[in-house]
Amino acid sequence: MIIDCHGHYTTEPQALHDFRKRQVEAFERKVPLPSPEVLKISDDELRESLEGAQLRLQRERGTSLTIFSPRAMGMAHHIGDEGVSLAWSRLCNDIIHRICTLYPNNFIGVCQLPQSPSVAPSNCIGELERCVKELSFIGCNLNPDPSGGHWSGPPLHDRSWYPLYEKLVELDVPAMIHVSGSCNPHFHATGAHYINGDTTAFMQFLTSNVFRDFPTLKFVIPHGGGAVPYHWGRYRGIAQDMKLPPLEELLLNNVFFDTCVYHLPGIELLTKVIPVDNILFASEMVGAVRGIDPRTGHYYDDTKRYIDQVSWLSETDRKKIFMDNARRVYPRLSARLQRALEGE
């Protein structure tokens, strides 16, 4: 079994985009937000949006189960206010739930949080609980910058995050660090803001006591950890200059990296410098890069092929990357698979 820990629903029917447009317009015009009831998307439409995309690619690439969440760019926490963010998050999470119900062997849910700039992250606890307890989701995406590229809120070690961290620990679900779109003209979303968000979060963890305060809290840093593995020597050296313990001890019980790195040399670097126990397979398909690499004849984001090519990984290593680590980081996924195995 190959678990892809990072997939977004990026092939939504047009009706969802239209609804969002109406919602944002209603907010701007200060009239009541449209009711989610007005959005009609049939199960067939959901199936159709997935069959030729994520499901086809799963089959073609030989991956099995995708940990699936709403479109990251679509979260757009910087648009609207807390109420808009909650209404939009509930709606998007409900659609993920429908997809996971339609295809229980292909998708398992991770939720979008109703974050909003200047609103304490504890506002997300209710929706997180709903998704985990009622919709059987196994984690969430946490946006370290709900201002959308202005980085105007509190960093991840600020105490205002702590109630949310407490709930993550209590529910035993990890969070993937994932920014959304950028409304700052400096930052191209998928080319700069995403990668910067990953690097920034890692450094916030390195310089703070978050994991002393929450020893069992777990974060997945996507896109191969941003710039972190490439600069692993820099981070080891900075920690050492700060008289901190080695990074393995300081962070690697809590921080995991996915494999969304779209060329072999990058995956080689990742598997060379990051312990294999901290690497989770992911492709982010259908996502940031959709083309075929003319140098290989394969999709850039077919990351399984790169991992298959790394000569120094043993079969045990590969099994960890493809499955075991995801089961360890997402205990509710593991419990589900165990139940399925036992024929529930």
Q: By CB under 8 A, is residue 148 in contact with its own copies?
A: no
Structure tokens at 142: 């946490």
**CA atoms of 122 and 226, how far apart (whole Å):** 27
Say how far apart CA 31 and CA 217 lie, in whole Å: 40
Determine whether 12 is an active site residue.
Answer: no
Site for its own copies in 32-61 (CB under 8 A): none
Least Cβ distance, residue 48 to its own copies (angstroms): 23
> CB under 8 A: which stretch of 9-17, 117-125, 161-169, 199-207 binds its own copies?
199-207
Binding mask 254-293 for its own copies (x = CB under 8 A): -------xxx-xx-xx--xx--------------xxxx-x
Q: How far is the CB of 181 from its own copies (least distance, A)?
A: 14
Stretch that binds its own copies, among 6-14, 55-63, 124-132, 228-236 (CB under 8 A): 228-236
Tell me if 137 contacts its own copies by CB under 8 A.
no
Instruction: Write down the least CB distance from residue 312 to its own copies, Å.
Output: 12
State yes or no: residue 117 binds its own copies (CB under 8 A): no
Least spacing, CB of residue 153 vs its own copies, in Å: 8
Does residue 298 touch its own copies according to CB under 8 A? no
Q: Of the listed 12, 127, 268, 284, which one is catalytic? A: 284
- Give per-residue burial for 152-161: e unless 16+ CB within 10 Å, then b: ebebbeeeeb
Phi and psi torsions of 136, nearest 5°: 60, 35
* DSSP secondary structure letters along 267-303: HHHHHHHS-GGGEE-----SSS--SEETTTTEETT-H
Are 38 and 99 spatial neighbours (Cβ–Cβ below 8 Å)? no
Q: Is 252 helix (H, G, I), strand (E, B) or coil?
A: coil
Q: Where are the alpha helices (DSSP H) in 103-242?
A: 125-129, 162-171, 194-206, 210-213, 232-241
Which is nearer to its own copies, 70 or 153 (by Cβ)?
A: 153
Could you give the C-alpha distances from 54 to 8, 10, 11, 127, 191, in angstroms and in order?
9, 9, 9, 26, 22
**Residues contacting 232, CB < 8 A, separation 6+:** 247, 273, 274
Residue numbers at the binding site for its own copies (CB under 8 A)? 144-145, 149-151, 154-155, 184-188, 190-192, 195-196, 199-200, 202-204, 206-207, 223-224, 226-227, 229-238, 240-241, 261-263, 265-266, 268-269, 272-273, 288-291, 293, 300-301
State the catalytic residues: 284
